[in-house]
Structure 1
Amino acid sequence: MSAVTPRELEIIGWMAAGKTAAEIGAILGISPITVNTHISNAKAKLSVFKETALVAAALRTASFDRKEFPWAARPPR
Structure 2
Amino acid sequence: MALRFVGVDPNTPNTGSPTVWVDDADGSLVIQGWKMDEAGMADVAATGPKWETIPDHETVLRLPARMVPILKDAIGDS
TM-score (norm 1): 0.29
Higher Cα radius of gyration: 2
RCO higher in structure (CA 8 A, sep ≥6): 2
Q: In proportion to residue count, which structure has more helix? A: 1
